[in-house]
Amino acid sequence: MMDVPLFHHYLSQSLEERLQEGIQHAMSLGADGAEAYLSVSRSRKAKVQNGALEDLTTSKRGGLGVRVMRGGRTGICTTTDLSRPDFKDLFQNAWELAELGDKDPWLRQAEPSGVDDLPSRFDARTEELTSEQRIARAMNLEAEARKASSKVVAVREASWSDGVGATLLLTQKGVRTHDLGTTCAASIELAVQEGEDRQAAWHWDMGRHPDSFSLAAIGQEAARKGERKLKPAQLPAGRYPVVLHPEVAVDLLGIVAGMMSAEAVLKQRSLFVGKLEQPIASPLLTLIDDGRLPQGLGSEPWDGEGLPTRRNVLIENGVLKTYLHTLKTAAEMGVEPTATAGRGVGSNPGITLFNLFPVAGNVTPEGLYRQAGNGVLITEIMGLHTVDPVSGDLSVGASGVRIRDGVLAESVDKLTFAGNLRDFLTRIVALGNDLHWYGSSAGLSLLLDDIALGGA
């Protein structure tokens, strides 16, 4: 739950009052609606390389976007100057720009509703860190990676970063939604070597406060990833049982969820057009986005339009249950909004995800390898941005580890992971119990049956 005095430390009461005056000025001009969306953040980062401090930075960002609605049209103006004595001219400019826009009969605004009943997203321990402590954490991360493996020969970057961000949405309807949160993150990119073979690897983690994740675990996992890639063999092209590592599954499921945008569906730019209440995946798969997950890094009390966030089941036992809506797309399709709008200071609301995760299975990763028998564990995929959102066709590069007789064997690389996203969804035959969060999205090991892999 938000501490209001603390929030006003980052976004002052005076600034909020000036924005309310600007909203009233827009309404006095004859506007149908007026909104102010404010976002400010401060971040700090320490970066080391091979035991030496490479960089220590502090950055501040702040921006305001105002949106004025006029006769079914909208105008948007932005500024980064938050010290202005008033913002009436900004709303005036947005009012004038609205006259030039295209008319949209589906424009909607939220009514005030909901409360901030979530655990605080702000942790004072993050703000109390000193520069020396940030440097020490980055140094410690590098030391942990080197301690984890004698094959680590270089650290290209070990970094610690943290920050605080605050947002505020105000509308003429009385909507006042606010959020304040802290984040910490650490990442490392390193090189391992054995003989003449040299491979790169990286890993990261993040949380709300400095002690919410383990630097040792990040360093160990980065070193392990590097070791696993050494001396790769070539895989004969063919069809294999494939286990997707959680880090790969989280990216694929994120792409799937993105295709559920109602805006994309309305434009006929989604694989899932016309698929509501139809099977689109294995009955083993249930996929959820929850904006109110108590400890979720993506949790927020309200979405970007001021609607209280909620739990949305996107896929249930393989069946597509909903598209993701803003107020506008919900009105156009005649359904209830899903409270999944995101917002930037210079844009209209669009679809976002809060905490995306699949429901975990009950099989250990080792159990999945045994089920695979002779297959491949895919640990890395390159080029997922090339997936065709309409057809679902994809052809991407991949690397991983050969599975022989149910156990991990030699590494393999230069694979081609090709086919259709629909096939990958429907070919899931087992889910791991190893749900792991990567920021605000979670993945787990997935066993896919009979997947075409191109190799040597």
Domain positions in the chain are: 4-222, 232-456
Check pLDDT > 60 for residue 456.
no
| pLDDT computed for residue 384 by the predictor | 86
In this structure, the number of other CB atoms found within 10 A of the CB of residue 92 comes to 18
Name the band, by pLDDT with cuts 50, 70 and 90, for residue 313: very high
Among 114, 442, 83, 404, which residue's Cα sits nearest to residue 253? 442
Residue keyed to tokens 């802290």: 182
Query: What proportion of the chain, given as a percentage, has pLDDT over 90?
Result: 93
What is the tens place of the pLDDT at every residue in 243-272? 999 999 999 999 999 999 999 999 999 999
Q: Whole-model pTM?
A: 0.95
Alpha-carbon separation of residue 418 from 130, 241, 270, 376, 402 (angstroms)? 48, 14, 19, 14, 18
| Mean pLDDT within 276-288 | 98
What is the tens place of the pLDDT at every residue in 430-454? 999 999 999 999 999 999 999 999 8
Residue keyed to tokens 């294999």: 240
| Mean pLDDT within 307-312 | 98
Check pLDDT > 90 for residue 40.
yes
Cβ-contact 399, 429 below 8 angstroms: no
Sheet strand arrangement including 176-194 = 73-79, 52-70, 33-49, 152-171, 176-194, 197-207
Cβ-contact 63, 87 below 8 angstroms: no
| Mean pLDDT within 403-407 | 97
> How many angstroms separate the CA atoms of 315 and 285, rounded?
7
Range in 12-26, 355-369, 410-424 with the lowest mean pLDDT: 410-424
Torsion angles phi and psi, residue 226, rounded to 5: -65, -45
Cβ-contact 248, 222 below 8 angstroms: no
> How many angstroms separate the CA atoms of 352 and 340, rounded?
6
Q: Is the domain covering 4-222 a CATH 2.60.40.10 domain?
A: no
DSSP assignment, residue 279? B
- As to burial, measured by CB atoms within 10 angstroms (0-12 exposed, 13-18 middle, 19+ buried), residue 294 is exposed
> How many angstroms separate the CA atoms of 432 and 106, rounded?
43
Q: Is 422 helix (H, G, I), strand (E, B) or coil?
A: helix
The set of residues, in sequence order, having a beta carbon less than 8 Å from that of 428 and lying 6+ positions away, is: 281, 282, 284, 285, 446, 447, 448
Q: Which two tokens stand for residue 124?
A: 């004072």
- Angle formed by the axes of helices 131-148 and 215-229, nearest 10°: 40
DSSP assignment, residue 324? B
Among 179, 178, 228, 219, which residue's Cα sits nearest to residue 199? 228
Name the band, by pLDDT with cuts 50, 70 and 90, for residue 423: confident
Q: Is 55 helix (H, G, I), strand (E, B) or coil?
A: strand
Q: Which two tokens stand for residue 28?
A: 């006095």
- In the chain, what is the straight-line distance between the N-terminal and C-terminal CA atoms, in Å? 56
User: Which strand (E) or helix (H) includes residue 438?
Assistant: strand 436-438
Cβ-contact 367, 359 below 8 angstroms: no
| pLDDT computed for residue 383 by the predictor | 87
- As to burial, measured by CB atoms within 10 angstroms (0-12 exposed, 13-18 middle, 19+ buried), residue 27 is middle
| pLDDT computed for residue 4 by the predictor | 64
Range in 4-13, 43-52, 307-316, 359-368 with the lowest mean pLDDT: 4-13
Instruction: Tell me the sheet residues that pair with 77.
Output: 66
> Helices in 64-113 by DSSP H: which ranges?
88-98
Among 419, 232, 410, 428, which residue's Cα sits nearest to residue 318? 428
What is the tens place of the pLDDT at every residue in 114-163? 999 999 999 999 999 999 999 999 999 999 999 999 999 999 999 999 99
> How many angstroms separate the CA atoms of 266 and 259, rounded?
11
| pLDDT computed for residue 1 by the predictor | 65
Cβ-contact 271, 389 below 8 angstroms: yes
